[in-house]
Structure 1
């Protein structure tokens, strides 16, 4: 991301120099503080669409506007801040992901902390969205977001799609929702693991790791890696990044348990969790 921002800044600097303008002259022509030009050219600040349009206009390079805007928007996709993505609510983001799901044929996902959205029950999804609303202080459209996530799961039943999920046992044990909710979620995992196009692996606590389960990530076909941090969604597409994450996924998948062994781990978690469930199921 930083390399892409630096490259964009260098292209802006080249346009300014080709126009024979100093940084101060360009800033004055756009009524900017001089420091802004330096920040943009050195990649310390990302430009807006308006910044790009103004820059090409005053340097007489308006024919470069579309190409520069395309580079800027690619940069924004690479590092999509949650505050920006969720500013209109949770549901629109679910719809964006659904569009991406429709284009993807092979899904490979590793999660060490929580159950992936495509495998979540409505109750578990509600708990996850509630956290997002609290953390990011965004509009509460939780009912619509849950419905959109449940609708997304229809992709699991399309025979041309292939899914390979790998979860840690820790992801099944973290108390991210009430115990009764988690029991329903564990039952859902067992059910979905029986689908012919779904492969579910569980890495038990007793497993010796070759690669540490540092964070969750998704490989969509062989085109994109998605990584979620607390502040942003990272979309990686460099060949070396794709190769790295593909190799890491293979290493994690190789030590996971599948089929009856995976269900045994899930049932072990169910047995440990069941005593904590009140009689009313909550």
Structure 2
């Protein structure tokens, strides 16, 4: 069973909180005394120590100083930032628009040799056409109420497709048949996207499967996710993007991907499903 997608982030936050509590105990001071030394309320100390409130960099520095453990601050700040990057609300990620988030993920694609992609709702960003991406990103911007830089964001997303053709990269792409039928953009945008899928299927570095409506479900449809080698899983929720690095959770997604792949059709059978979706639009 796939675990809660935010559990890695919470576990990482709890590890930081536990280490802060250990520093306080090692210093032999109470939570009240720590609060006095830091110049904040007792409740703030309690919330941080119990992983209810993520500490800021300044909070960690103050905590370490209060515990006479300044040499621990840098490592704890780094661990706290790593935990914070595991669960990111879209309103934070897109606070200045979508272009930046499209560019920030490029290094991850650059260093990944095998990327496994599962989508149950929309076409993967890696293979989106300009028209499809524009329609999708426009709807996301409108829903989130974030700054509109869709034109620039689309160009950044399209630039990522070069990894399909260059470098030592391989891709395993799985789509639910729903992706072929959900209408994102107008008719021309959908037909163009579906025809691009047919082209992508022929690329030597790509395995492309479609899970048909008629498939006997051995695992339920999931949120879209990407597995980057065996290092990280990224999954997108309505309100947040979740980056998972805990080996046990990566293994769960690996198992889920293999189960989903066993239900998919490939080659001529997958092409037939895509062509039927195109025919339904024409």
Aligned to 2:13: 5
Aligned to 1:135: 143
Aligned to 2:281: 273
> Could you tell me which of 97, 100, 110 is aligned with 2:118?
110
**TM superposition score normalised by structure 2:** 0.93
Aligned to 2:58: 50
* Segment of structure 1 superposing worse, 158-167 or 108-117: 158-167
Matched, 1:182 2:190: yes
Matched, 1:236 2:248: no
What secondary structure is seen at the aligned counterpart in 2 of 1:93?
helix
- Matches of residues 134-173 of structure 1 in structure 2 within 5 Å? 134-173=142-181
Deviations 1:212-265 (A, max 9, x none): 112211110111111111121111122221221111111111121111111100
Matched, 1:68 2:76: yes
Distance 1:20 1:203 in 2: 59
Matched, 1:25 2:33: yes
* Segment of structure 1 superposing worse, 177-186 or 262-271: 177-186
Distance 1:119 1:191 in 2: 10
Structure 2, unaligned runs of 5 or more: 1-8
Distance apart, 1:118 and its partner CA: 0.4
Distance 2:25 2:139 in 1: 48
Deviations 1:156-193 (A, max 9, x none): 10251101100011011112322221111101111111
Aligned to 1:125: 133
Distance 1:242 1:120 in 2: 26
Structure 1, unaligned runs of 5 or more: 275-282
> Could you tell me which of 182, 197, 210 is aligned with 1:202?
210
* Segment of structure 1 superposing worse, 101-110 or 228-237: 228-237
What secondary structure is seen at the aligned counterpart in 2 of 1:140?
coil
Distance apart, 1:2 and its partner CA: 2.1
Distance apart, 1:59 and its partner CA: 1.8
Distance apart, 1:77 and its partner CA: 1.9
Aligned to 1:211: 219
Distance 2:210 2:167 in 1: 23
Matched, 1:81 2:89: yes
Distance 1:248 1:133 in 2: 30
Aligned to 1:223: 231
> How many equivalent residue pairs?
274
What secondary structure is seen at the aligned counterpart in 2 of 1:153?
helix
Distance apart, 1:26 and its partner CA: 1.9
